């Protein structure tokens, strides 16, 4: 799907796919949208919302829809009963999409100017921008919206800095925190927010979004259901699976782990495929697939009473995550990284 990108590139940008800030299409969250819109009309919208749910289901897109809703209808009694669709023809839409609206502050992982790579956390310097943002006079006396995306990527200093802003917000200020794993947030942050859980997309809604994006959707109902199940109701995961070789990567990992002896040649072919110069998305898919596999093993071990195995696998997961962050942060050899992860996983599978 060809389009002109308006929004700044983010740490999790997918080529040729709209960023949440520039996406006018929100699917599958009608119930949550109606709940938030009704609270706003009634004057009961909590000053801090925590949008929780799996990655890639539209939480950030929901947040930007809410931001535009508040700015289009600054007087609650005049707002529609449901969350208003975003209108790409409005100057307001373009301002928000470009990150240029003076009443919307979007905080996410910043770019490291030295390495030109995105940092692995939402830093305290990003959160400190809130104080400067709120100290300025509100644009035309309307709402100010702060979106932290995702809040569970904040480091400890950033989380503590955000807490101070949540405790005594100025009037007509709306915080929207996005969290894939809200349990990872400070309890004091969670207690100051109203939790809105967004559900994974049902198969029809997911397929509808994928078709709009011209993704390679299976023709059969069984194939579509299988894709939705494997993607966990996440548009992002479905796109990675269908457009960027995610299914092939997952199958390659499975084959390698199933061999009786570690298949060096096959593992190296897989590592070269995901570690090449033009394989940034595939490298991200590989790492996530590897981490998800080990996480599943650890969860299964715990559920079956193998606590020692669960602890061992949890430690392996942490080590793999550390290696992944180091490889991306310091621009290490991605092929060697992938090869190392495959060997560690194969050894764990045979233990």
Given this model, what pLDDT does residue 28 score? 92
pTM here is: 0.81
Stretch 240-267: mean pLDDT: 92
Is pLDDT larger for residue 115 or for residue 304?
304
For 20-197, the fitting CATH number among 3.40.50.10330, 3.30.1490.20, 3.40.50.300, 3.40.640.10 is 3.40.50.300
Q: What percentage of residues in the chain have a pLDDT greater than 90?
A: 75
Phi, psi torsion values for 306, nearest 5 degrees: -85, 80
Which residue is it, tokens 């409005």?
90
- Residue 2 pLDDT class (50, 70, 90 cuts): low
Q: Which stretch, 7-16, 136-145, 255-264, has highest mean pLDDT?
A: 255-264
Is the confidence at residue 247, as pLDDT, over 50? Answer: yes
Given this model, what pLDDT does residue 16 score? 86
Q: Which stretch, 116-120, 228-232, 256-260, has highest mean pLDDT?
A: 256-260
- Residue 3 pLDDT class (50, 70, 90 cuts): low
Stretch 64-84: mean pLDDT: 96
Phi, psi torsion values for 305, nearest 5 degrees: 90, 5
- What integer best gives the mean pLDDT of the chain? 93
**Residue 169 neighbours by CB distance under 10 Å:** 17
Q: Are 109 and 11 in contact (CB under 8 A)?
A: yes
User: At a CB cut-off of 8 Å and minimum separation 6, what does 213 contact?
Assistant: 1, 17, 235, 239
> What residue ranges in the chain does DSSP mark as E strands?
48-52, 104-107, 111-112, 117-118, 144-148, 173-179, 194-197
Q: Are 94 and 61 in contact (CB under 8 A)?
A: no
Given this model, what pLDDT does residue 1 score? 44
What residue segments make up the domains of the chain, in order of their start? 20-197, 244-350
Stretch 78-87: mean pLDDT: 94
Stretch 194-199: mean pLDDT: 97
CA 112 to each of CA 4, 15, 118: distance values in angstroms, whole numbers, following the listed order: 25, 20, 6
User: At a CB cut-off of 8 Å and minimum separation 6, what does 254 contact?
Assistant: none
Q: What is the pLDDT of residues 219-234, one digit of tens each?
A: 899 889 888 988 999 9
Stretch 189-217: mean pLDDT: 94
């Amino acid at each position: 799907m060809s389009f002109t990108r308006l929004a700044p590139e983010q740490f999790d940008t997918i080529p040729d796919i709209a960023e949440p800030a520039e996406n006018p299409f929100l699917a599958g969250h009608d119930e949550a949208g109606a709940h938030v819109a009704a609270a706003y009309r009634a004057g009961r919208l909590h000053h801090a919302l925590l949008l929780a749910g799996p990655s890639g289901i539209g939480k950030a897109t929901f947040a930007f829809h809410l931001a535009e809703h508040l700015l289009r209808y600054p007087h609650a009694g005049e707002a529609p009963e449901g969350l208003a669709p975003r209108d790409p023809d409005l100057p307001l839409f373009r301002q928000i999409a470009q990150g240029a609206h003076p009443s919307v502050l979007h905080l996410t992982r910043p770019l490291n100017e030295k390495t030109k790579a995105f940092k692995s956390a939402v830093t305290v310097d990003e959160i400190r921008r809130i104080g400067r943002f709120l100290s300025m006079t509100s644009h035309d006396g309307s709402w100010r919206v702060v979106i932290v995306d995702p809040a569970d990527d904040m480091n400890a200093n950033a989380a503590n800095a955000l807490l101070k802003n949540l405790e005594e917000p100025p009037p007509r200020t709306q915080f929207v925190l996005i969290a894939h794993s809200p349990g990872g947030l400070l309890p004091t942050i969670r207690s100051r927010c109203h939790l809105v859980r967004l559900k994974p997309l049902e198969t029809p809604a997911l397929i509808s979004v994928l078709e709009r994006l011209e993704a390679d959707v299976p023709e059969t109902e069984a194939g579509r259901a299988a894709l939705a199940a494997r993607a966990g109701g996440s548009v992002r995961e479905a796109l990675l699976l269908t457009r960027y070789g995610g299914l092939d990567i997952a199958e390659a990992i499975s084959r390698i782990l199933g061999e009786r002896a570690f298949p060096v040649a096959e593992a190296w072919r897989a590592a070269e495929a995901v570690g090449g110069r033009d394989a940034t998305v595939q490298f991200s898919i590989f790492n996530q697939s590897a981490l998800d596999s080990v996480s599943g093993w650890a969860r299964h071990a715990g559920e079956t009473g193998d606590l020692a195995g669960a602890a061992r696998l949890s430690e392996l997961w942490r080590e793999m995550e550390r290696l992944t962050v180091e490889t991306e942060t310091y621009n290490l050899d991605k092929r060697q990284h992938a090869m190392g992860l495959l060997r560690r996983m194969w050894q764990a599978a045979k233990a």
